[in-house]
A and B are shown apart, each in its own frame.
Chain A
Amino acid sequence: MNAKRHVARMTVLLATAALLVTACSGSSSPPATSAPASSAGASSPAGSPITLTIAANAVVGGKSNQEAAWITNYVIPTFEKQMAAQGENVTVNFNGTGVADEQYKAQLALDLKSGSGADVFDMDGIWIGEFAQANYIKPLNQIVPAADGWDGWAQITPAVQANMSYQGQRYGIPSGTDGRFLYFNKSVFAKAGLPADWQPTSWQDILTAAQTIKSKVPGVTPLQIDAGTAMGEATTAQGFLPLLVGTGVKLYDESTQKWQGNTTQIQDVLNFYKQVYTTGLGDPQIQLAAKGRDQSFQEFSQEKIGILGESDYMWRGVINPTGGVDPMQDRNTEVGWTLMPAMTPGSGVNGQSFVSISGGGGRVLNPNTKYPKEAWALLSFMASKDAVLQYTNGQAQITQRNDVNSQILSSDPLLTFVATKVLPLTVYRPGFAVYPQVSQALQLASQEVFAGKSVSDAATEYNNTLVQLVGADHVASGS
């Protein structure tokens, strides 16, 4: 009986301890509140403490560590000091999570829906439309009328500003952008007899180079253009759309308000995919594998892929010799890059011969913030020249500000290339709520053409899905 009592007592103690811990672990972030309407534009009386929160999908020591470390070590202390010097008692907290983009998006939506959430938070540009339509976010100048007068806007190109805008209204300040182009491996090229300063000017050039690699360098996958549903949005952003804009059309045309349906251009892209993945120029298994994108990066870093279409993210985050997940020690000498050509010279959007697609995100103000003036001060501070310079921390990357870019990019030829050659050519994805579903339909079509379907069948199926999504009036279909 003694042993039993002892056991029982231990269990009760343990249980009580656990329940107490959970009960007492209150939130250490400010309680969720919805702002009363009268606080718009008001600031707290000098001296009374204000707490602001920043939310981002970044975590110290993990995902987007650079941003998390910057916020924790620079933004918060510096901003709090600045505010103190102005006689305001401000504390800033950082809620960093490190999860998949979609999950962060869900968390954000739930918070905004209930009128809570951080005062300043990160958002991907492509989400602005759907969040605005759901009334989760509001234009900056409706929350803080002074926002339009910020001097930083002059340093951010209008195209990049548009990424964080919806229906012509600015919802946030961009925090960076990227560009897509072709990478290639110089030693594979050397073995195939292809030039180290390769510059294709048409799709046929790409295919010819791939065929040469296939015949001259066995054991190497010649070309990797993201395809299939397993890779998700990467297929559309890195593969389908750069090809599509090379045929002369954008996915969504603002002037006609129509999406590309079963058109010759869509079929051209599908034909390209079909050729690559059914004639041995690419590896279909990678496109169908659950971790296919990871695999493609790994293989490229092991010199098993000749040409790969990606964004500068791969350069910075994957094959980077310091800190990349698949580091290539000789990246700077081994890896070449070149602009993505249009289908034929001059056939790209706006008559371009080279094209690109860009993405990126930014920071947005919470319409429910209790302290709009201070929150805007924080937001604009984070996008100020000094802060952005601090963020880059000596590393070369493409920021949202032209003044910072011109200062820091000179050390990195690839990023200079992106900033000076790629960004001027680029197109952004349509920021509508329905875009992710259209993207899925494109991913499916890209996969079906090498799973046995004919191009016209795949295009028809895509068209039908599109019509269901946006209505027949908004679908452009060719012959």
Chain B
Amino acid sequence: MSDPNATALRTRGAVAFLTPALLLIAVFLVFPALWTLYLGLTDYRLTGIQAAYPHVIGLNNYTAALGDPAFANSLWVTLLYVLGSAVIGQAGLGFALAWIFRRWRGPARNALEVLVITAWIIPSSVVAFLWIAFLDTRQGTLNAALGNAAIPWLFSWPLLSIIVFNTWRGTAFSMLLFGGALNTLPPSHLETARLAGASSWQQLRDIALPTIRGHILTNLLLISLWTFNDFTPYLITAGGPNFATDTLPVYIFRNALINFQLGYGAAISAILLGINLVIALIYMRLLRARS
């Protein structure tokens, strides 16, 4: 029994509820984003003659980028980086922490939570020093903890190093999101299951995960997108050695933004958009299919 008046109210109310967001998004997001994407079709630069007299060059920026073998390398490195540090690292560890934090209280738990959050908060420029000191070959903390090993992490295992770094850096968000998601689970559901003899693992697999599947998808989409665009590894490895950690944001920086070739940079950003869209569609397919 729905009151038609209530429906009318709801639609008008819905529009009113959407307006502030739509206004802000239209002016400060969509408009500049479309403008930027348009710049991708030009040879626009911030300085130099193309700043005063830019030309539309069509898809030249795109063909230049796609035809560059370094671009393919960069794409591959980025995919590995996202898979390792976001999908497996941040989401996995974040969920694990959220799960064990559910019913654990006490100073140890609080301390761990603060540590994880702090790792997320420390400014990028400082974080770079932290990890360069941590992974230093001769006097790094990690090598000291491993019994005075002298493993040149940043030179022999650069991609692994930044994957481990980014997991450390971003787990907090997944932990928070999954924590919030798990907190919307009525404890009665899990309690009932536990009383019926289900193990922790079974509660997790059969009740918790299916319920928060939407959140999982959201989280993966967000952290994949953010990690794709993450420039911080540059501060630790400068894209090297020899382009081993030349992720797409570093590639864009090196080839376009360092010289403020904004047209070229915009074009590569548009390509990134396309790639992320494809990845998102894959995620949605994988995670929706099982319902």
A–B contact with Cβ pairs below 8 Å: the answer is yes
With A109-B51, A451-B242 given, is the CB distance from A290 to B137 under 8 Å? no
Please tell me if the beta carbons of B240 and A288 are within 8 angstroms of each other in the complex.
yes
Known: A109-B47, A285-B152. A230 touches B52 (CB 8 A): no
What chain A residues lie within 8 Å of B128 (beta carbons)?
Answer: 290-291
The answer to whether A289 and B258 touch across the interface, beta carbons within 8 angstroms, is no
Are A134 and B48 touching (Cβ within 8 A)? yes
Interface of chain A residues 85 through 137 with chain B (CB within 8 A): 102, 105-106, 109-110, 113, 127, 130-131, 133-136
* Residues of A with C-beta under 8 A to B260: 102, 105-106, 109
Distance of A135 Cα from B236 Cα, bound (Å): 37
Q: Which of B49, B234, B258 contacts A290 (CB 8 A)?
A: B234
**List of A residues within 8 angstroms of B258 by Cβ:** 102, 436, 440
* B132 and A133 contacting across the interface, CB-CB below 8 Å: no
Q: Is the CB of A288 within 8 A of B49?
A: no
A130 touches B242 (CB 8 A): no
Name A451's closest neighbour in chain B (CB-CB).
Answer: B242
Given contacts A102-B258, A285-B155, A440-B258, contact A229 B239 (CB under 8 A): yes
Q: Which of A110, A113, A134 has the most CB of B within 10 A?
A: A134
Shortest Cβ gap from A333 to chain B (Å): 28
Tell me the minimal C-beta distance from A229 to chain B in angstroms: 7
Over the window 146-169 of chain B, the binary record of Cβ atoms lying under 8 Å from chain A Cβ atoms (1 yes, 0 no) is 000000101100000000000000
Tell me, in angstroms, the Cα distance from A136 to B45 when the chains sit together.
Answer: 13
Residues of B within 8 A of A131 (CB): 47
Q: How far is the CA of A434 from the CA of B261 in the complex (A)?
A: 11
Task: List residues 177-205 of chain A with CB under 8 A from any CB of chain B.
Answer: none
Assess whether B237 is interfacial by the CB under 8 Å rule: yes
Residue of B129, B154, B254, B259 touching A229 (CB-CB under 8 A): B254
How far does the alpha carbon of A105 sit from the alpha carbon of B51 in the complex, in Å?
14
Inside 8 A of B9's CB, which chain A residues have their CB?
Answer: none
Instruction: Please tell me if A447 contacts chain B, counting CB pairs below 8 Å.
Output: yes
Chain B residues with Cβ under 8 A from A127's Cβ?
47
Asked whether B47 lies within 8 Å of A130 as measured between CB atoms, the reply is yes
Q: A289's contact among B45, B129, B154, by CB below 8 Å, is which?
A: B154
Quick check: B46 and A106 within 8 Å, CB to CB? Answer: yes
> Is B217's beta carbon under 8 Å from chain A?
no
- With CB as the reference atom, state the residue of chain B lying closest to A448: B242
> A44 at interface (Cβ–Cβ under 8 A)?
no
Say yes or no for A387: interface residue by CB 8 A criterion: no
Please measure, in the bound complex, the distance between the C-alpha atom of A110 and the C-alpha atom of B45, giving whole angstroms: 11
B208 interface residue (CB < 8 Å to A): no
Nearest CB of chain B from residue A251's CB, rounded to whole Å: 17
Given known A106-B260, A134-B52, contact A229–B240 (CB-CB < 8 A): yes
A141 interface contact, C-beta 8 A: no
A322 at the B interface (CB under 8 A): no
Given A113-B51, A130-B47, the answer on whether A289 and B242 have CB atoms closer than 8 Å is: no
Q: What is the CA–CA distance of A358 and B132 in the complex, to the nearest angstrom?
A: 32
For A228, the closest partner residue in chain B by CB is B240
In the complex with contacts A134-B47, A291-B132, A433-B47, A229-B137 CB distance below 8 A? no
Contacts A288-B242, A290-B235 supplied; 10 other A-B pairs, CB < 8 Å = A105-B47, A127-B47, A133-B52, A134-B45, A230-B238, A289-B154, A290-B234, A291-B129, A292-B238, A434-B48
Residues of B within 8 A of A (CB): 45-49, 51-52, 128-129, 132, 137, 152, 154-155, 234-242, 254, 258-260
Q: List 11 A-B contacts (CB under 8 A).
A: A102-B258, A102-B260, A130-B48, A130-B51, A134-B46, A134-B47, A136-B47, A285-B155, A288-B238, A290-B132, A433-B45
